[in-house]
Structure 1
């Protein structure tokens, strides 16, 4: 198993990361979503990229997994509901700076970026603000921050409003319930894999302290507001993937992202929810590597 490594960034953040694949391979960075960690990427997906010669870099975002926690107040439920981030809250730009800082730490000039959900928002921000660092962008079930699109279903919001889990057993049960809600019958989850992952996440994130990190990450999304104008500045080859049954980020968010990026390819997968299920992995690897085979003009190398 690949071991955790740590990077102390100039901004003061301590970021946990892992590397897989050949050291001289083409860099490909995986950016996880809200409350997730670097182990949230299916191993089969990582293997699919490394078998194609990529050097895969994945990391825990700030306030997640084994990366450093931010010493700042946690936004309460009312602040989250009203989308009013606390003064001094960090935003997606700060999380994008963490990504670039990790690339600097590893002496990586540019990389293919693949982000899911909030990770897609972070990847979009890196591509817009640091175009020289991004070879291609793959944004999976993500959105632009425009509140008219990409909104979660009310049933999803009600599930997420529950109080924090207090034991690993309770946390695992809630995860399985949420994934059953966010996944789909067309692409079923592997309950054994999800149980093992949720157990590991509880341990890596320090148990109950993970809840405060998730609240601050939600604050970062809200503090960033509507990023459509910034997303329009993205110039690298871009792929946007979304499912038509996504209850966490409505597919309108994916469509808005693709519409904002000139020349972006939008792929809507029927039956896909807000989860990278086992039967979707090969398709996502193929779509991403096909994009990586394109140069800036959109022609095959």
Structure 2
């Protein structure tokens, strides 16, 4: 059941899995993606591994606050971003406050990995462990292929059916070549995402936040948190170089790469993801 919390001046929609006695685990999703893109079965597996899991909608997606009054971003030489990833990391810190969590294990995917990195940088006492999935310390460290960029920058859909077809086409490009696209799941999630909230302008503001934010590598070098980097070897949107750069920047970080994995979380790999995250969080509690 979706709940709401006031955090950093906005409202954040979230839900939970597992026992409150479990290790607190915050999941942060990527660009334009809603909390439902952390699959319920995946969240349940993390809960079964001993975690109290929270997934949430970032600002400007889903049922969290959409900053319509912030204005449109401007890209290029006169770059203007209505907010930065720093602000989104502070949203996550505010959610921890609302949850009554002094600290948590944090897992972020894609842009969510960037936010998780900044949460550890800006609020180091709030992060027990950091898992960065298919992410990067800066756009320059992992430039997308032309095909992936074209898919990302396609004109927004005009209706629900077009949104579904656009999602299928996008994931055919940036998904995992080693694993067949789950078209039924992709269709269902695209339709549900449209029904919960369809806001291309919000996703554009998030993209501007990514583009305008500073390179995190120098700041990541100062972290002392236990960290793990998971990355697909066939990621066209955030190539493997981004995961390598993240792992090299964080002292002592582990790096696990997956052949055939693109810019998604293939179901057959879920046991490996859950196992690796569980090992990290358990070790960080010792």
TM-score by length of 2: 0.96
Q: Kindly provide the CA deviation profile for residues 33-76 of structure 1, in whole angstroms up to 9, marking residues without a partner as x.
A: 00001000122211111112211011000001100011211125
Task: Please show how residues 65-76 of structure 1 align to structure 2 within 5 Å.
Answer: 65-70=62-67, 71-76=69-74
Deviation at residue 232 of structure 1 after TM alignment: 1.5
Equivalents in 1 of 2:175, 2:9: separation in Å?
37
Secondary structure, aligned partner of 1:199: helix
In the alignment, structure 1 residue 189 sits paired with structure 2 residue 160: no
Residue 257 to residue 276, structure 1, CA distance change in 2 (3 Å):
same
Residue of structure 2 in register with 1:289 after alignment: 278
- After superposing the two structures, state which structure 1 stretch, 168-177 or 66-75, moved more: 66-75
In the alignment, structure 1 residue 272 sits paired with structure 2 residue 270: no
Unaligned runs of 5+ in 1: none
Residue of structure 2 in register with 1:247 after alignment: 236
Equivalents in 1 of 2:77, 2:233: separation in Å?
25
Equivalents in 2 of 1:84, 1:13: separation in Å?
27
In the alignment, structure 1 residue 145 sits paired with structure 2 residue 135: no
Residue of structure 1 in register with 2:214 after alignment: 225
Equivalents in 2 of 1:161, 1:130: separation in Å?
32
In the alignment, structure 1 residue 124 sits paired with structure 2 residue 121: no
2:26–2:54 contact (8 Å) kept in structure 1: yes
Pick aligned residue for 2:92 from 91, 94, 99: 99
Equivalents in 1 of 2:95, 2:245: separation in Å?
29
CA-based RMSD = 1.4
Deviation at residue 130 of structure 1 after TM alignment: 1.1
Task: Please show how residues 1-301 of structure 1 align to structure 2 within 5 Å.
Answer: 3-9=1-7, 11-70=8-67, 71-76=69-74, 79=75, 82=76, 85-86=79-80, 89-145=82-138, 147=140, 149-205=141-197, 207=198, 210-295=199-284, 301=286
Equivalents in 2 of 1:260, 1:213: separation in Å?
30
Equivalents in 2 of 1:128, 1:8: separation in Å?
22
Consecutive aligned runs of 4 or more in structure 1 exceeding 6 Å deviation: none
Q: Kindly provide the CA deviation profile for residues 254-278 of structure 1, in whole angstroms up to 9, marking residues without a partner as x.
A: 1000000000001111111001111
